[in-house]
Amino acid sequence: MAQLFTPGADAVYRLALMTGVACLVGLPVLAAGIVRSNYVTGVGIAPAQPVPFSHKHHSGELGIDCRYCHTTVDKVASAGIPPTHTCMTCHSQIWTGSDMLKPVRDSYAQDKPLEWVRLNKLPQYVYYNHSVHVTKGIGCSTCHGDVTSMQMTYRANAFEMQFCLDCHQAPEKYVRTPDQVWNMTWKPPADQATLGPKLVAEYHIRGGSRLTECGICHR
């Protein structure tokens, strides 16, 4: 009777066994890596927009305040996307012939809204309110990154639950004085460890586990 197994069979068997173990460990790791990758979360990826609007130029170099365009960020849940009219307040006077701005002029002339590609999106069972965060000393850049350095705007953070919880568990690490909320390059000052808790008390931010109760964000 001929040999059932060739001399190499052992090696193949060991290889298969090791591959199996590697897959068992590796595939979940790979899958976890993929879902956290920028490819999936969209972090750092700047999609093409109808107009190549630069936050770096407008907000960083020209110093236009966030609230000039995002008018309701300190008033209601949504920060607000500016109507074409807001663009035209300046661009009816400057860069009136620019090719780059043609879609804006067309939108205004034809009364057809611009369609911006959405960057930041939360699941439908999460409810976020800009105004309460801004008025309680959470700055724009904490979530949106330093947009004054973004030539084309991209998503700065993947808004997964852990990201929100980091702050909701320890708001004193992130809370700023009111004048610093709009500062895009804010870094925690050296005395944040003492200033933070003081600000949390001043803002009446409810401590304990209140901010991590499910009903705060989910309803």
For binding to another protein (CB under 8 A), which residues are involved? 47, 72, 75-78, 80-85, 107-108, 111-118, 121, 123-125, 127, 129, 131-132, 135-136, 203-204, 206, 208-210, 213-216, 218-219
Nearer to another protein, 8 or 208 (CB): 208
Asked if residue 135 lies in contact with residue 74, where contact means CB atoms within 8 angstroms, the answer is: yes
Question: Least CB distance from residue 83 to another protein, whole Å?
Answer: 4
Which phi and psi angles does 101 have, rounded to 5°? -95, 5
Asked if residue 125 lies in contact with residue 11, where contact means CB atoms within 8 angstroms, the answer is: no
Nearer to another protein, 57 or 85 (CB): 85
Nearer to another protein, 87 or 184 (CB): 87
CA distances from 62 to 20, 49, 56, 204 (A): 58, 21, 9, 35
Question: Least CB distance from residue 188 to another protein, whole Å?
Answer: 23
Nearer to another protein, 88 or 195 (CB): 88
CA dihedral angle for residue 7, residue 9, residue 11, residue 13, rounded to 10 degrees? -160
Nearer to another protein, 6 or 209 (CB): 209
- For helices 84-91 and 102-110, the axis angle rounded to 10 degrees is 120
Question: Least CB distance from residue 204 to another protein, whole Å?
Answer: 4
Question: Least CB distance from residue 47 to another protein, whole Å?
Answer: 7
Nearer to another protein, 119 or 195 (CB): 119
CA distances from 43 to 47, 54, 116 (A): 11, 17, 17
Question: Least CB distance from residue 51 to another protein, whole Å?
Answer: 12
Phi-psi region at 111: left, alpha or beta (left = phi > 0; alpha = psi -120 to 50):
left
Paired strand residues for 211: none
